Copies of this chain bind each other. A is one copy, B any other.
Amino acid sequence: MAVGLKFPTSLLPIQGIRLATACANIYAKTRTDLTLIEIAEDSNTSAVFTRNLFCAAPVQIAKQNLDANMPLYCLINAGNANAGTGEQGLLNASETCHALANLADCKKNEVLPFSTGVIGEVLPVDKINTTLPELLKNLSADSWLDAAKAIMTTDTIPKAVSNQVSIDGLTITITGIAKGSGMIRPDMATMLAYIATDANISKALTDKILLKAVNRSFNRITVDGDTSTNDSCVLIATGKAKNSCIINEDSAEYALLEEALINTCCELAQAIIRDGEGATKFLTIEVSGGREQEECLAIAYRIAESPLVKTAFTASDPNWGRILAAIGNSGIHDLEISKVNVFLDDVCIVENGERAASYTEERGKKVMLQDEITLQVILDRGECKEKIWTTDLSHQYITINAEYRS
């Protein structure tokens, strides 16, 4: 069902990163479901995590470990979220870190654990621990695509991308993988993403650049408004490209790397939406002319998460009344309806708060039949704008979520 999303090819290795995957029989079907990412010493690693209060055990452990040490490993399982599992869940996540640390001869808190899958079931620690030797043996710089596959849950296609940028006359490479297709809403919902670069950049700026990139990408997507308990996004900068360490946020080098990283994260975030559960359309919602970013986002999300708007897109029905109703219901009390304009791609459907004189059903229908549509709302009350991405709501979404335990 993925909309305009190709199978990833030509992934570039990142010096200082090796990966391995294996089948530990955690996922319901027999396939690779355990992934190890090895990080070279002296890399800088940053991460952001779900804001869901019921955050999973591995998220809690990963946060603690990241505060204590620069990590040397990420250990990721699919098929079990280890969330809603209480004290035992924390012990279990810790135990897998401990087992890996023993085998790899590092500290227990140099391992970051990640889990994705069903909530509330006990993590099968033994299955994981007995698979660790195989993972350590098979580490390879060329296994990014394998890793993108092994972290999938309801995804139908792996998500991975590489980009390059020239800094200091040196080629800097960025490669990232991500998973997620439901329970997706800003603040990093049911999503795991691992992005590595060989750029040399200080830890302080690794933190900063990741936050910025996530806010422009993974925090601008929604499938169903649900936020998962396990989401995590990790950025690793190995420094192996040997550019002079980027320590100045105002430098041209920082700007170049930031742009490349934002592009990488946007490609991955959009891939998640293109592969959203039951997606038949890829929708870009742009709100401009707002007084504040927050009001632009409120309107964009209200539209993107309205089941009535989403089902109208599924039906390719230019039922623009549903869009107006969503805008009017965004909680912005002093919005002047008579100044609102709405476009479907280049077709003006609403002008000054009512049906545009030039609008015809035929013109609306033509745009609605496309797989990819931009919906633009212009408020005419300020200079702020925001852009988010979402999908429609089809029978397939119901089938996936009402017929399988995910």
A residues at B contact (CB < 8 Å): 52-55, 81, 83-86, 89, 118-120, 182-183, 224-229, 305-308, 311-312, 314-315, 317, 319-322, 324-329, 332-333, 335, 337, 350, 352-355, 393-395, 397-399, 401-403, 405
Contact = CB atoms under 8 A, between A and B. Distances in A.
Given A119-B321, A226-B308, A325-B229, A353 B398 contact: no
B398 A83 contact: no
A384 to B, nearest CB: 19
Contacts of A324: 54, 83-84, 119-120, 229
Residue of A54, A324, A405 with most partner-chain B CB within 10 A: A54
A29 to B, nearest CB: 18
Given A120-B320, A308-B182, A350-B84, A328 B55 contact: yes
What is the oligomeric copy number?
Answer: 2
Contacts of A312: 401-402
Contacts of A322: 119, 226
Contact of A308 (B55, B81, B183): B183
A398 B314 CA distance: 9
Nearest to A326: B226
B315 A224 contact: no
A120 B321 contact: yes
Q: Per DSSP, are chain A's interface residues mostly helix, strand or loop, or mixed?
A: loop
A304 B209 CA distance: 36
A229 B326 CA distance: 9
A354 B90 CA distance: 12
Nearest to A340: B54
A312 B397 CA distance: 12
Contacts of A225: 305-307
A355 B312 CA distance: 38
In order of increasing CB-CB distance, the 3 nearest A-B pairs are A119-B321, A54-B328, A86-B354
A335 to B, nearest CB: 6
Given A120-B320, A354-B86, A226 B401 contact: no
Given A229-B325, A326-B226, A398-B314, A353 B86 contact: yes
Contacts of A320: 84, 119-120
A295 to B, nearest CB: 12
Highest count of chain B CB atoms <10 Å: which of A314, A395, A401: A401
A398 B224 CA distance: 14
Most chain B beta carbons < 10 A, residue from A311, A326, A332: A311
Contacts of A53: 327-329, 332-333, 335, 337
A55 B327 CA distance: 11
Nearest to A120: B321
A148 B243 CA distance: 75
Contact of A325 (B52, B86, B337): B52
A405 B319 contact: yes
A184 to B, nearest CB: 10
A402 B315 contact: yes
Nearest to A351: B86
Contacts of A319: 118-119, 405
A87 B179 CA distance: 49
Nearest to A54: B328
Contacts of A55: 328
Given A119-B321, A120-B324, A226 B329 contact: yes
A230 to B, nearest CB: 9
A329 B84 contact: no
Contacts of A405: 317, 319
